[in-house]
Amino acid sequence: MTESGVSNAMTVNIVVAHSDPDARGDLSSPLRECGYEVAEAASFGEALAACRALTPDVALVGSTFASAEGNPLLDELKADPDAYATAVVVVAPPELSAARAQDVLRRGAQDVLIEPISAADVIARVRSAARTKTLQEELVGQSRRLETMLHEDPLTGLFNRRYVLTRLAGLISGARRHGRPLSVAMVDIDHFKLLNDEYGHDYGDAALVALTSALRERLRAEDELGRLGGEEFLALLPDAGRHAAEVVAESLRASVEGARPRIAGHELSATVSVGWATWDGDESAAQLVKRADVALYVAKDAGRNAVRGADNGSASLRRRT
């Protein structure tokens, strides 16, 4: 990357939109000489079409195209889901008032150039706008990565405990509002501690990843899976009543039993116990998860590699191992 923050002039695409052909030439020529890719537009329609098709890094836009009273190209670009990230530099006549300049900047313009404009000024402002766009994209990327870190379990790539429980609360709100069913399934890998003790924690981590893939394969597109911690997972099953929840829970159990992945030269033979519960139309996320957890205790007590459904929370509470 160069000092300007723009990786290469040839990678910067520019749309020059101006109704005056001489002005377009004066703006485009120095940019082409520097190696930029430049597309010209003589009308509002041409400019909007070019920006939507090319999604340029920078658009040099004549003030008549950016005026709220005339052709609001600036507003159209900033409202477009593809072209909104384009850095818009408005080219304005010398009589542009401070209030009008403030208005175009407020509406999303990156910069304002006052005519007459020297070739050096055009190049400098375009490079600055392109660099700012690059930095903004990097900040957006960093924000997205941070957001992913906040809700993703780093080992399995599943939702982490905090996020999956937050999602469940949101699904309950939606189910209540629309009168739709909702279920959850709690999954626990049987005898996972023995697996760690025999082969080591690295093997155990690899096993968790492999079994996560097996669980994911059996879920519907609308279902969500999170890791509550250790070897325990929670599947969120929107629009699933009791029968559907029981079918999904059994499918999750069978998927792990039949997976048999090879890890470090060893075939992994693992099973899971599953407890499921269907939202009763009134309970909180914590209460729903608690009922599924109680059902999971019952599945463990039944000998593991088993599926049990919640029975109004009446199942006895025993310690799992």
- For 211-267, what is each residue's pLDDT tens digit? 999 999 989 889 999 999 899 999 999 999 999 999 999 999 999 999 988 888 888
| Residues with Cβ within 8 Å of residue 35, at least 6 apart in sequence | 9, 10
Residue 32 CA from chain centroid, whole number? 37
Residue 210 CA from chain centroid, whole number? 24
Residue 301 CB burial class (10 angstroms; 0-12, 13-18, ≥19): middle
Tell me the CATH class for 161-309: alpha beta
What is the torsional sign of CA 205, 207, 213, 218?
Answer: negative
| Residues with Cβ within 8 Å of residue 31, at least 6 apart in sequence | 14, 16, 38, 122, 123, 126
Tell me the CATH class for 9-147: alpha beta
- pLDDT value for 6: 45
Dist. CA 24–CA 12, nearest whole Å = 18
The mean predicted confidence, pLDDT, of the chain is 84
- pLDDT value for 5: 44
189 and 215 in contact (C-beta within 8 Å)?
no
- pLDDT value for 143: 62
**pLDDT per position in the chain (321 positions), as tens?**
343 444 444 478 899 989 888 888 889 989 998 888 899 998 888 888 888 888 888 888 887 776 655 557 788 888 887 777 888 888 888 888 888 888 878 888 888 888 888 888 888 888 888 887 777 677 666 666 656 567 888 899 899 999 999 999 999 999 999 999 999 999 999 999 988 888 888 888 999 999 999 999 989 889 999 999 899 999 999 999 999 999 999 999 999 999 988 888 888 889 999 999 999 999 999 999 999 999 999 999 999 999 999 964 434 333 343
Domain coordinates of the chain in residue numbers?
A: 9-147, 161-309
Maximal C-alpha separation, the chain: 85
